[in-house]
Structure 1
Amino acid sequence: MHLNILERRKSTIFFRKQKKFSVIRRTRKWNCKLGKKILYVTNYYLDDVVKQRHSEPYISQAGQNKGRYIMDMLRTGGNDVIVWSNAWTNSHSLKFYRGFQSEEDSSLYYSDIVGIPGLNAYVCLASSKRFLRKLVKKQKIDVIIFYNMRLENSKLALYAKKHFKIPIILQYEDGLTNDANIRGLKKLVYQNMEQEVLGQLDGAFLVNSKIQVPCPSVVIRGAIRDREKSRTEKCLPDTDHIPKLLFSSTLDRQRGIGVLLEALAYTKEDFILTITGRGEAEQQVRAQKDRRIRFLGYLDYAAYKKELEETDICLNVQLAHHEFGNFSFPSKIFEYLSAGKLVISSDVADTKEALGDTLILYGEDDPRQLAAAIDRAIAIQKNEKERQIYQNKIAAVVEQNTIDKVAERVNRLLEKVANSHSKHIQGE
């Protein structure tokens, strides 16, 4: 909802006495020898901002999950993380909304926005600069990590480096200039932004090993929280019920929804295919006559987790032969594996290199090959011996990709960036 003037003032004063103390307590909690004070600039948000802005979630559930585990991973490594989010939540209201500190997470702050596409980026950027100036007056920020090449995020990072000498690390994925949904002038703006940012980076988190950047980097395809590790031991489902398949993603061409729908014509197996998400292909999904399809639209996190828990086989059908795939990795695969699920996947990016025969892979973005993979997964699901073999493979992957192990790799990069930055400052 809209805030009145007094409420706005209260919600936007960053260092109110009680809030300041809560931030200090978080610092002590996560303090360690290598711990850094990090400002994480991203699009992550919680339900409080969706309600305030009378809108619906804009970032996909997979994107939300990615932001959540990046924060968890940084904190697991002993770092103190403040999150700054533009919280652009698909509001086209033409109204102005004041930023505020989240009541659900005291480390999360939202920028001002205006419900006008295009203009909103500049409103977010102005709000972000004000926030940063207040923040650096109160505490030292060791590094800024910013999500992707989004205009408002990138401009803030460059501003921080120029005016406050803060090193910047890019969380790089999706290759926005290769996203089929970004066209025309907007694409040109992002192309120019990429060139400017790549020349200023101190480090990068890369989503796959094929991406090349001119700075130190670490590959973070995904991570598994320790509390999820035990799930793989509990997921040996009953073989007598109808198999349940899950596809949860943005419904557009590059995520492969068209290939999946076409593949259904080539498999006669009996199963329930639950599809969740929203996007340009939503009406195409709704128009399907195949009775095996169960379409739920966009789900909140709790509903999504419930669907995942009840699923036997998960699908990632992102197009491998699409430029977008070269700059992405379906990190949701790690969430599926951590839940002990069989996973069918295209051979997008470096999926085969990273996870090998843990997945049931198919090639060439071919509906017939995908149908064969579905049949194969169902056969494994019904065969106790084969299912156990895959469960053992899944358990090994889970063990190798726990969040604490990813945090160790990230901390090494943070330390390298800090040392390099310190030498650079001393040399000036």
Structure 2
Amino acid sequence: MEQGKRRDNSPAADTKIDYIINVLNRLGYGVDIISRAPSAESHFLPASIETKGENTYLYFASFGRTKSPIRVVYRWFMELQFFFWCLLNLKKQEQVIVYHSLGYDAAFLKLWKMKSIRIIGDIEEIYQDVCKQTACKSRNEYRFIEACEKYIFPTQLLDQKVNIEQKPSLVIHGVYATENVTEKKFSDGKIHVVYGGTLDPNKGGATAAAVAAAFLPKNYHIHICGFGDPTEIKTVVADIQAKSEATVTFEGELKGDSYKHFIQKCHIGLSTQNPAAAFNATSFPSKVLVYLSNGLKVVSIHIPAIAQSAVADNLYFYDVQTPEKIAEAIIRASKEEQSGNEILYRLDMKFCDELDKLIAE
């Protein structure tokens, strides 16, 4: 992301993409990152190119955010810049790793037909499983996935679901890097528990984490750090705090180093998304690996995508999505010692080898 400027990026996507770029660099590849992220500010941001080590980052000019009807024109302006840059600069048969997004599925379908580019699709989830999409977007999503020549998936379950033709693929749950832990744990005598991620009520994780505080004793403190509309979670936090012995606070949206330093002070990380949601059948919550890499123990809902993952033995599961069961798992985790560093190191080495082979195929 541009220094000193704010683009409307997904923090989870940024984290995953940065890790893949790091692995590509270790394999000897320089990477050109083409970002379609618009301005998240109220003012115009000019186009820019940044060089960081052996990588370049291209950002397109973007008008500021607005609720005015003219925002449609602003979106077209971004789409045209993105499409024509790719049309003029991508070479025929060039391999392009594309982080799947409904925002540019249609553009890449056109580029695939016009330039015969070879798409390696990083398919994190099927977005129409998360929330209802228009018929056009749903159609383009599946057409884009079908057009990919190779895949990067977060779970084996998603690979089995969409990779019908058994094209070359690999599975990476998230970021396997182990962070340099520089922060000391909170030392106020409490067990500090953190939920970091989306506040989207369709996914339900933030609310479930907050409500669990009502069933914890007073020496626990739950922190909610999230991106998205905070209106609902603020109401939930205020309501729970009014009747709970434990402490629950909303910390707002923390990004980058600020987020990393904060969670390193905590003891337990929560992965509490709604198990009934369709997307949970195939997607893997990236927050699980972020917690492990920063030295936290992890409490997670027991669903196949996580229970069958390579890190399952390092997690503390609960089986039913109720605040009582979440609280029980938190208390259980707080009484044991466990580290995820060794498994992350092994998975990192495995992913380096698999990505090198995928690109060479």
Alignment TM class, shorter chain as reference:
0.7 to 0.9
Question: Is residue 273 of structure 1 aligned with residue 222 of structure 2?
Answer: yes
Rg: which structure is higher? 1
Q: d(CA) in 2 for partners of 1:321 and 1:118?
A: 34
Instruction: Measure, in 1, the Cα distance between the counterparts of 2:290 and 2:83.
Output: 35
Change (3 A) 1:304 1:238: closer
| Structure 1 unpaired stretches of 5+ | 1-44, 51-56, 381-386, 417-428
Q: Equivalent residue for 2:357?
A: 412
Q: Taking structure 1 as reference, are residues 369 and 188 closer, same or farther at Cα in structure 2, changes over 3 Å only?
A: same
User: Number of matched residues?
Assistant: 342
The correspondence for 2:306, drawn from 351, 355, 361, is 351
Name the SS for the 1:113 alignment partner.
coil
Q: Which residue number in structure 2 is paired with residue 249 of structure 1?
A: 197
5 Å-filtered alignment, 1:195-344, equals 195-211=142-158, 212=161, 213-214=163-164, 215-225=167-177, 228=179, 241-253=189-201, 254-280=203-229, 281-288=232-239, 289=241, 290=244, 292-344=247-299
Compared with structure 1, are the counterparts of its residues 240 and 276 closer, same or farther at alpha carbon in structure 2 (3 Å cutoff)? closer
Give the corresponding residue for 1:38: none
Contact 2:186 2:266 in 1 (8 A): no
Match of 1:75, SS state, is helix
Q: Which amino acid aligns with 2:344?
A: V
CA–CA separation in structure 1 for the residues paired with 2:15 and 2:277: 23
1:82 aligns with 2:32: yes
What one-letter code is carried by the residue in structure 1 that aligns with 2:146?
G
- The AA in structure 2 aligned to 1:284 is T
- Does structure 2 retain, via aligned residues, the 8 Å contact 1:146–1:169? yes
Is the contact between residue 176 and residue 190 of structure 1 (CA under 8 Å) also seen in structure 2? Answer: no
The structural deviation recorded for 1:82 is 0.5
- CA distance change for structure 1 residues 89 and 317 in 2, over 3 Å: closer, same or farther? farther
**1:296 CA drift (Å):** 1.4
Aligned-residue Cα RMSD (Å) equals 2.8
In structure 1, how many angstroms separate the alpha carbons of the residues matched to 2:100 and 2:78?
Answer: 16
The DSSP-based 3-state class of the residue aligned with 1:158 is helix
Deviation for aligned residue 1:219 = 1.0
Worse-matched range after superposition: 171-180 or 283-292 = 283-292
Paired residue for 1:42? Answer: none
**Shift, 1:171, TM fit:** 0.9
Q: 1:176: Cα distance to partner?
A: 1.3
Matches of 2:12 and 2:171, distance apart in 1 = 18
1:46 aligns with 2:5: no
In the other structure, the counterpart of 1:6 is none
170-179 or 186-195, larger mean C-alpha shift: 186-195
Unaligned runs of 5+ in 2: none
Cα distance in 2 for partners of 1:219, 1:310 equals 30
Contact in 2 for aligned 1:102/1:109 (Cα 8 Å)? yes
Question: What SS does the corresponding residue of 1:151 show, helix, strand or coil?
Answer: coil
| CA pair 220-255 structure 1, distance change in 2 beyond 3 A | farther
**Does the CA contact (< 8 Å) of 2:282 and 2:305 recur in 1?**
no
How far the C-alpha of 1:376 sits from its partner, in A, is: 0.7
TM-score (ref. length: structure 2): 0.84
2:20 to 70, 76, 97: 70
Alignment-derived partner of residue 155 in structure 1: 106
**Deviations along 1:54-91, whole A, 9 cap, x unmatched?**
xxx64343332122112212222222210000112445
- 2:321 corresponds to which residue? 365
Task: Letter of the 2:226 partner, please give it.
Answer: G
Partners of 1:300 and 1:223 lie apart in 2 by 16
1:104 Cα offset (Å) = 6.2
Query: Shift in Å at residue 109 of structure 1?
Result: 0.4
1:365-423 CA-partner distances (Å, limit 9, x unpaired): 2222111101112222xxxxxx1xx23xx233123222x4312111212222xxxxxxx
Structure 1 position 142 matched with structure 2 position 94: yes
